[in-house]
Amino acid sequence: MSKTTIVNFNDLKIACENCSLSRLCLPMGLEQSDIERLDQIVSRSKPYHRNDYLFREGDTFKGIYAVKTGSIKTYVSREDGSDQVLGFHLPGEIIGLDAIEAGVHGCTAKILETTAVCLIPYEKLEKLSVEIPSLQHQMFRLMSREISNESNMLILLGKKNADERLATFLLSLSQRYKQRGFSSQEFNLSMSRNEIGNYLGLAVETISRLFTRFQDEGILKVERKHVELLDIEALKRISSHCSQNDSSSKSSASI
Amino acid sequence: MSKTTIVNFNDLKIACENCSLSRLCLPMGLEQSDIERLDQIVSRSKPYHRNDYLFREGDTFKGIYAVKTGSIKTYVSREDGSDQVLGFHLPGEIIGLDAIEAGVHGCTAKILETTAVCLIPYEKLEKLSVEIPSLQHQMFRLMSREISNESNMLILLGKKNADERLATFLLSLSQRYKQRGFSSQEFNLSMSRNEIGNYLGLAVETISRLFTRFQDEGILKVERKHVELLDIEALKRISSHCSQNDSSSKSSASI
DNA sequence: CGCAATATTGACCACTCTCAATGAGGGTGG
DNA sequence: CCACCCTCATTGAGAGTGGTCAATATTGCG
């Protein structure tokens, strides 16, 4: 990965570090000068390390975070002490939009591996997006996407069985890595089996058994954190329930 | 209900029909004059009837809808022909924010009972919220709330058992009706058992059995569509897993 | 090197689904 | 107005998926 990191603020590209991004920004409706103004309010911090908290449930909301490198999980704690993992956040993804309304974070963001983020202070962002209509536009789109993504998760948790859930999860990671220019066939899981299970509404043991079975079936190779997807088509078939239909139709399938 | 209907556009109050709403709007940051401008772009339609579609998956996105009276379910269709109910929308709630990014609706909105809505054309809304910063602010809050609400559903589907799910669901309806000035103890379910089960990730039969059991246990009375919550505290205990702990702590619990 | 956390594997069990039959409304048309 | 039908709801019996518990590996880390 080049040392000039671009965060894909979903469609809203933000420069991180000190790179020129004219070629990335123009296509999506922000003028070069606007990008620079946005860039000026973004603050970078030194990297976080595994098990650090980016923020915790109840913390005052300062702004939204864009993941530059690394990965982060968000989760909420339940009254009985258990957690519910809400999501895993990879480079180019945004965290914290859920806290705008309350002004307080409703979930905890915990670092899974050494991670760099940008903080975009919310008050400044809101002011700026009054001045830059196309920024407001991108913000609405960004939040809208976040809302529309929910339905995939509801389907996963509401309708899919264990096989389908894990397959869907792996394909989602695969696709997101691909979008970021990483390999879509081979990657490292920065989260534990426990966290995967928690996220997918399954027990750890089930995740473990599924990895073993998928491997026995030649669908993937997994060793500890490292995963290699050997048969993505099979995963797609599994993820969308089709026991062994032809898969010549839609692609879809993203968490 | 008075004939002057106010839709609580979450914190963004919108006038429907022809009412004066100064007393409702000022408290939440929109000037009277701004309200009027917003009001001018809102379009009303004649009521929809049961099984009508407000919009369907794939329809071009025109704007967001505020439910004035009645109720609506949203759902997505899966490849295998099954559906996943995404939510039930009561008076004062907003539908369609998920479609902003794609410009196309990703789910279908189907009318459950005679329902009146406002359509807020999105392009006009976006333009207006450039001109009225406090409107933009409310929009961000509104979308943020939608995003933060997701976690309740993830907990429900990821962690809760059948009892907890139904209890949580009933409490959510109860609370939402209460907010709208209706009874929180007694109301009509505009959705079928099937739709409830679908939404909660449970089979119809399970819903039916639970209603019967809850009734046998004196927690509620249910007849057909009509539900009376006899022991809301018991429901709260059930919804948050505590088998029979004291419930003197938090309230929370909303879908 | 040894401990603690994480992962794997097995055995058993329970919650909920599925299948099937019955019952109850609600709407329509004769 | 009633008979019919169709959808929706209820109830029971049996089965299966995935959870729980427990034991054992494995890994990472101090």
Query: Would you tell me which residues 26-65 of chain A have a C-beta closer than 8 angstroms to some C-beta of chain B?
Result: none
A84, A100, A252 ranked by CB distance to B159: nearest = A84
Residue to mutate among A74, A139, A154, A246, with most B CBs inside 10 A, is A154
pLDDT value of residue A253: 36
Tell me how crowded residue A226 is: count the other CB atoms within 10 A of its CB: 11
Q: Which domains does chain A have, with CATH numbers?
A: 6-149 (2.60.120.10), 160-239 (1.10.10.10)
Q: With 50 as the cut, is the pLDDT of residue A98 above it?
A: yes
More confident site: A13 or B16: A13
pLDDT value of residue A36: 80
Position A28 confidence tier, pLDDT thresholds 50, 70, 90: low
Model pLDDT for residues B80-92, shown as the tens digit of each residue: 889 999 999 999 9
What percent of chain A has pLDDT above 70?
83
What end-to-end distance do the CA atoms of chain A give, in Å? Answer: 25
Contact A153 B155 (CB under 8 A): no
The three-state secondary structure class of A224 is coil
More confident site: A31 or B132: B132
Scanning B48-203, the segments in alpha helix (DSSP H) are 122-131, 133-159, 162-179, 193-200
Strand D protein footprint, C-beta under 7 A: A 161-163, 201-203, 205-206, 224; B 192-194, 204-205, 207-209, 211-212, 222, 224-225
pLDDT value of residue A11: 41
Does residue B42 contact residue B22 with C-beta atoms inside 8 Å?
A: no
Q: How buried is residue B37: exposed, middle or buried, by Cβ count under 10 Å (0-12/13-18/19+)?
A: middle
pLDDT value of residue A254: 39
pLDDT value of residue B241: 76
Residues in chain B with pLDDT values less than 70? 1-29, 242-255
Of A18-22, A207-211, B55-59, B186-190, the poorest mean pLDDT is in A18-22
pLDDT value of residue B28: 58
pLDDT value of residue B39: 83
Model pLDDT for residues A49-88, shown as the tens digit of each residue: 999 999 999 999 999 999 999 999 999 999 888 999 999 9
A86, A129, A241 ranked by CB distance to B151: nearest = A86
Closest nucleotide over all strands to A195 (CA to C1'): C6
Residue type at position A122 = Y
B106, B201, B241 ranked by CB distance to A158: nearest = B201
Model pLDDT for residues B132-144, shown as the tens digit of each residue: 999 999 999 999 9
pLDDT value of residue A241: 77
Residue type at position A228 = E
pLDDT value of residue A205: 97
Of A1-10, A24-33, B41-50, the poorest mean pLDDT is in A1-10
State which residue has its Cα closest to the C1' atom of D9: B208
pLDDT value of residue A130: 94
Give yes or no for A243 touching B (CB within 8 A). no
Give pTM, 2 decimals: 0.87
pLDDT value of residue B180: 86
